Amino acid sequence: MNIRHRLILMNFLQFFIWGSWLLTIGAYWFQNKQWSGTNFGAVFSTMGIASIFMPAIAGIIADKWINAERLYGIFHLIGGLILFVLPQINDPELFFWVMLVNMMFYMPTIGLSITVAYTSLKMNQYSIIKSYPPIRVWGTVGFIVALWVISLLKFETTPYQFYVASAASFLLGIYAFSLPACRPMGKGHRPDLASALGLNAFALFKNRKMAWFFIFAMLLGASLQLTNAYGDTFLHDFAKIPKFADAIAVKYPAIIMSISQISETLFILTIPFFLKRFGIKKVMLMSMVAWVLRFGLFAYGDPTGGLWMIVLSCIIYGMAFDFFNISGSIFVETQSIPAIRASSQGLFMMMTNGFGAFLGSRISGIVIDKFFKVNGEFVWKEIWIAFALYSLLVAVLFAVLFKHEHDPAEVEQAHH
């Protein structure tokens, strides 16, 4: 098997693990355990908490002491063990702590997988710009396949989703040790702590435009968590209404939700065109308007006559996600000097997947419990309208507060 095929398998398994439970844990939590939204918000915030500090720590370890592919394998073996234990837990607070430990080992593997891929491609004289995106797309395919497997096996509300994720994690953990050696490149080099943790990138906050950009990155990071946390269990809840109970979307909600990931892979390909033509501000505004439509269509959709709204919402998700996450990463690239390029991307990830994910998960869980539950049942229409209004407010504030003149040359430079 050549190195590209081996890296494709690595990426496929990397995101298969996550896809096995990320979008369906809400169905397990609310449909099976009937635990509270506040506790669920806490559990969903664990990836945000872990993303704030663990990727930086894992990066230092891989830079100085342990081969990246070995550390990657060790983390997945530990993660597999924790995922295997999760279904045995019957207390939501203990579940939070165990999931937090799981996320502390899983979140750094996303960065480590990129390190392993880049190093392996360079060693084999491949162009990263040409070779990596077609390899990375297989990660999204892995996520989609996992969703289909969990849905078709009827595991969405059961603990078996965690066993599937655990088996994939063990498999990837063992497989990682067969990947090319990615030796520590920073042995003997002693960066200061601020540099090692990427804190020097915080200097970007001195620039008002960048400060606003990172604040909006955090606010949109919250939107992403809302859709990941509640989309699947929203469709499951239609099963309680007799006229919807036998609809395909209710029987296999994860398959419907996987349209979002399929759309994501297609919208990635349109980003260079949109960025060059419209510029970062308009592209990011498109993302924010897409979030408003994503939630608004959920509010008025249903699994039969309104199925087209739910499907359209999933297609729009591709634009909502990619036009901010991928375009935002390119924007950060154009605004950062080479010395802080990596840590600037780390800061962008910290604001979206870290603080944004944490705040979005925690606050939404508390607000839903307090205002959007009647006799223990979710009031879904009002929940999605509230999320849509939140996204609209973010879009209006962004249009007014974020000042940026479009320069096509800047975007061109980021591609080369």
| CB under 8 A, 24+ apart: contacts of 343-346 | 343/195, 343/198, 343/199, 343/200, 343/201, 344/201, 344/204, 346/55, 346/56, 346/198, 346/201
Judgement on whether residues 347 and 397 belong to the same structural domain of the protein = yes
The domain in which residue 415 lies consists of: 200-416
Residue 195 domain-assigned (yes or no): no
pLDDT tens figures, 17-61: 999 998 888 888 888 888 888 888 888 888 888 888 787 777 777
Q: How far apart are CA 119 and CA 72, in angstroms?
A: 14
Judgement on whether residues 123 and 230 belong to the same structural domain of the protein = no
pTM: 0.76
Judgement on whether residues 5 and 64 belong to the same structural domain of the protein = yes
Q: How far apart are CA 372 and CA 381, in angstroms?
A: 9
Judgement on whether residues 140 and 221 belong to the same structural domain of the protein = no
Judgement on whether residues 74 and 185 belong to the same structural domain of the protein = yes
The CATH number of residue 68's host domain is 1.20.1250.20
Residue 93 domain-assigned (yes or no): yes
- Residue-level pLDDT, tens digit, the chain, 416 residues: 789 999 999 999 999 999 999 888 888 888 888 888 888 888 888 888 888 878 777 777 777 788 889 999 999 999 999 999 999 999 999 999 999 999 999 988 887 888 888 888 888 888 766 777 788 889 889 999 998 999 889 898 899 999 999 999 999 999 999 998 888 765 555 555 565 555 666 777 777 888 888 899 899 888 887 877 788 788 888 988 898 888 888 888 888 888 988 898 888 778 778 887 888 889 889 999 999 999 999 999 999 889 999 999 999 998 998 888 777 777 776 776 655 555 566 677 778 888 888 888 888 888 888 888 888 888 999 999 999 999 999 999 999 998 777 666 554 554 44
Domain boundary among 190, 223, 247: 190
What six digits make up the tokens of 182? 């990615």
Q: How far apart are CA 52 and CA 237, in angstroms?
A: 33
Q: How far apart are CA 156 and CA 137, in angstroms?
A: 24
Judgement on whether residues 46 and 184 belong to the same structural domain of the protein = yes
- 206 near 349, Cβ under 8 Å? no
Q: How far apart are CA 331 and CA 345, in angstroms?
A: 10
Judgement on whether residues 274 and 144 belong to the same structural domain of the protein = no
Judgement on whether residues 316 and 256 belong to the same structural domain of the protein = yes
Return the sign of the alpha-carbon dihedral for residues 258, 84, 172, 325: positive
Judgement on whether residues 293 and 408 belong to the same structural domain of the protein = yes
Distance (Å) of CA 54 to CA 15, 111, 191: 18, 10, 18
Judgement on whether residues 271 and 388 belong to the same structural domain of the protein = yes
Q: How far apart are CA 69 and CA 73, in angstroms?
A: 6
- The count of structural domains within the chain is 2
